[in-house]
Structure formats: C-alpha cells, structure tokens
C-alpha cells in the first residue's frame, strides 16, 4: 500500500485525490494547500490529514507525493521531495523556464525513487491503442504525425499571464505525444501563431492559434494544430501516416446518440474538456505511477520527457518570433 501526500487541493488535485482513494494499492494520508479550507475539505472527504507541504515531505511514513500546486513551485517541490526519498508524480510542466527544468533534471538524476511527469495523453486508452498498433507494425514505418488539439474556450487573461504561453502551457502535451509516439526528440521546430480568438491574449504577447511543425532527424514530420477555442468542445485527435496505412484517434463523444432531423444528422459533441475527456487517463496514470513507485515497472513519463517537451515549446515560441526553424536544445 502506497501512502500518499497530496500537495495542492485545486481542481486537478481533487481528481487525483479521488483516484488515489479508489486505487486498491494507494491511500491518501495527507493534503496540503495554501488555502487551508481547500485542503481541509478535500482531506475530510477521504479521511486524510491536513498538513503543511513541509510536514508532508518530512514525514517518513509517507511514500509518495503528488504535486498539483501552481507551476512556479513544481521544480522546487520535485527537488525537495526527491531529496527526502519520496516517489513523485508532478503535474506538467516542470517549470516555465527550460534552464530551471534542466537544473531540476540534474538535481534529481540520482533520486532513489521514481519521479514521474503527469502527461495524461499517454494513459488515454485511445492514444495508447494508437501507440500499440503503431509499435506492433500495423502501419509500417511512421512518416507524418498530425495532432489536433483545441480547447473549448480560452482561459481568462489572468491565467494566460502566468501560463508561460500557449506552447509551454497547452501545446506541451502535444509535443510530448509526438516524442512518445515517434520515440524521438525532434531536431528542429518551426511554428506560426496568431491571436485570433481573444485580442487580450495577443496584447499579453501570447498567441491563441498556432501550427507547430517538428522535424525529426530521420525526416519524419509531426504537425500540431492548436487553438484556444472550439465552439463544439474539446477537440483531441491524432493521425499517424505510415508506409502501410494510417492510424487515427477520434474524439470521445458525450454519447453515441445521433439525431436525424430535417437539418441533418446530428451526432454528440466531444467530451467538453480535459477533466471529462481524460477521466479514464487520470485513473490509469495514477495506477502507472503506483506500479513504478512500488518498483514493479519503469516510470512511464520521466523528468527527461518533461524537459524535452519544454525544449520544444521554447523552440516553437522562438520560431514564431523569428520566422525560421529553431533547433531543439534539451
């Protein structure tokens, strides 16, 4: 039984708390949050204690911590928890600064227990089935990967301001998907972006619509389309063209109901946003972490994976500015 401390009781912390509770091999023992009431409410739901982050990290009876705090605290907490001998599952990204992420990578290189990044797509049953089919040779050699990744609605400017921008905040998931599927890190990145959805996002120096192209050393190409807005909901699709066919992940829809009316045949919308779309992925992500923390399996997403995705994001942001392809330096 893995004894777990949860750092951060916000929206995603609540998802993880439930999954920790439901997993037969883990138990939630403590919760911290800089808003004590939030920690209290969540801890109460699962018979856990409210503690400070420091107390949780210092507690030798706690095996693992799940870091679901704000991004600017991730790297510090990873380092502290690793130093205290904890297994760590940290929400992406490691940090908004590639330099800081690299330092964190260096500092935790010799950690005794697994450190895992929370890239949820890797645990989605559909993405996993595409990856498995590809690895099994169903479409031969991979050539051209295309990711569509649109959010249902843009975040408020206050969020955009601290988000690190579309590439570090949102596209980073898709960059990780590309690296994971191709089993490689691209050499160069070219990107184009614009603020078409919300002028305030543009005023903050960010983009809300972007296309990023990843050039792999052996010629393979990945292209990622991002938008902060899709009126019909969360659009999360992947297509991989190979020498012998194409594998595609379609959206997960709210229902399988179709309405045939005079206006056309109306199918359901995709699941609205990531909490619904990736609900099953969060369960599998946690169980993958538990297996790694218990020493039964390799850690499925490493700090290096987090560094690589961030390096691509940094290159993409630079490419939008320069108009030229930018080398990825991870």
Binders of its own copies among residues 38 to 77 (CB under 8 A) are none
Tokens representing 292 are: 């790694």
Q: Look at residue 64 and give its three-state secondary structure.
A: strand
Residue 250 interacting with its own copies (CB under 8 A): yes
Residue 259 interacting with its own copies (CB under 8 A): yes
Residue 318 interacting with its own copies (CB under 8 A): no
Q: Tell me how far, at minimum, the Cβ of 75 lies from its own copies, in Å.
A: 32
* Sequence-ordered list of residues with C-beta below 8 angstroms from that of 44, at least 6 positions apart, any chain: none
- Which of 99, 265, 295, 329 binds its own copies (CB under 8 A)? It is 265
Tokens representing 9 are: 């009781």
Only one of the segments 32-40, 69-77, 107-115, 262-270 lies at the binding site for its own copies (rule: CB under 8 A); that segment is: 262-270
- Which of 84, 184, 241, 291 binds its own copies (CB under 8 A)? It is 241
Q: Tell me how far, at minimum, the Cβ of 39 lies from its own copies, in Å.
A: 20
Q: Are 51 and 78 in contact (CB under 8 A)?
A: no
DSSP run (H or E) holding 175:
helix 172-182
Only one of the segments 30-38, 98-106, 108-116, 225-233 lies at the binding site for its own copies (rule: CB under 8 A); that segment is: 225-233
Residue 272 interacting with its own copies (CB under 8 A): no
Residue 185 interacting with its own copies (CB under 8 A): no
Q: Look at residue 217 and give its three-state secondary structure.
A: coil
Q: Is 265 exposed, middle or buried (0-12, 13-18, 19+ CB in 10 A)?
A: exposed
C-alpha of 116 from chain center? 11
Q: Tell me how far, at minimum, the Cβ of 150 lies from its own copies, in Å.
A: 7
Give how many residues touch its own copies by CB under 8 A.
Answer: 71
Q: Tell me how far, at minimum, the Cβ of 171 lies from its own copies, in Å.
A: 13
- Which of 165, 190, 286, 299 binds its own copies (CB under 8 A)? It is 190
Closest of 85, 92, 86, 65 to residue 7, by C-alpha: 65
Tokens representing 41 are: 């409410």
- Which of 19, 148, 149, 308 binds its own copies (CB under 8 A)? It is 148
- Which of 41, 192, 275, 279 binds its own copies (CB under 8 A)? It is 192
Only one of the segments 1-9, 53-61, 240-248, 283-291 lies at the binding site for its own copies (rule: CB under 8 A); that segment is: 240-248
- Which of 67, 172, 325, 328 binds its own copies (CB under 8 A)? It is 325
Q: How many CB atoms lie within 10 A of CB 238?
A: 25
Residue 136 interacting with its own copies (CB under 8 A): no
* Sequence-ordered list of residues with C-beta below 8 angstroms from that of 52, at least 6 positions apart, any chain: 32
Tokens representing 92 are: 């992406």
Beta strands of 151-218 (E only): which ranges?
188-194, 209-215
Closest of 122, 175, 187 to residue 149, by C-alpha: 175
Binders of its own copies among residues 5 to 24 (CB under 8 A) are: 22
Residue 187 interacting with its own copies (CB under 8 A): no
Phi and psi of 167, rounded to 5°? -70, -45
Only one of the segments 74-82, 166-174, 267-275, 302-310 lies at the binding site for its own copies (rule: CB under 8 A); that segment is: 267-275
Phi and psi of 156, rounded to 5°? -70, 155
- Torsion angle of C-alpha atoms 170, 34, 104, 63, degrees rounded to 10: -110
Only one of the segments 30-38, 99-107, 174-182, 248-256 lies at the binding site for its own copies (rule: CB under 8 A); that segment is: 248-256
Only one of the segments 80-88, 167-175, 306-314, 318-326 lies at the binding site for its own copies (rule: CB under 8 A); that segment is: 318-326
Residue 283 interacting with its own copies (CB under 8 A): no
């Amino acid at each position: 039984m893995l004894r777990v401390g949860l750092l951060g009781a916000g929206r995603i912390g609540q998802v993880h708390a439930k999954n920790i509770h439901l997993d037969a091999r883990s138990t939630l023992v403590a919760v911290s949050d800089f808003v004590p009431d939030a920690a209290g409410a969540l801890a109460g739901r699962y018979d856990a204690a409210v503690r400070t982050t420091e107390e949780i990290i210092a507690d030798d009876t706690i095996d693992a911590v799940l870091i679901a705090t704000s991004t600017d605290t991730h790297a510090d907490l990873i380092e502290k928890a690793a130093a205290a001998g904890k297994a760590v599952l940290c929400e992406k990204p490691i940090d908004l600064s590639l330099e800081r992420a690299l330092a964190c990578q260096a500092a935790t290189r010799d950690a005794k227990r697994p450190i895992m990044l929370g890239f949820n797509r890797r645990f989605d049953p559909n993405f996993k089935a595409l990856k498995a089919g590809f690895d099994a040779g169903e479409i031969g050699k991979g050539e051209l990967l295309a990711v569509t990744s649109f959010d249902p609605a843009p975040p408020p400017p206050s969020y955009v301001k601290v988000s690190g921008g579309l590439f570090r905040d949102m596209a980073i998931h898709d960059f990780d998907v590309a690296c994971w599927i191709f089993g490689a890190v691209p050499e160069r990145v070219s990107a184009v972006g614009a603020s078409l959805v919300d002028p305030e996002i543009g005023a903050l120096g960010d983009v809300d619509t972007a296309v990023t192209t990843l050039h792999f050393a052996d010629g393979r190409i990945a292209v990622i389309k991002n938008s902060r807005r899709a009126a019909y909901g969360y659009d999360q699709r992947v297509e991989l063209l190979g020498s012998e066919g194409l594998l595609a992940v379609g959206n997960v829809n709210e229902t399988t109901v179709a309405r045939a009316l005079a206006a056309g045949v109306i199918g359901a919308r995709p699941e609205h946003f990531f909490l619904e779309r990736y609900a099953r992925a969060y369960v599998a992500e946690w169980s993958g972490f538990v297996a790694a923390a218990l020493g039964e399996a390799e850690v499925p997403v490493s700090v290096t994976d987090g560094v690589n995705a961030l390096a691509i994001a940094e290159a993409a942001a630079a490419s939008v500015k320069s108009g030229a392809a930018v080398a990825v330096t991870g």
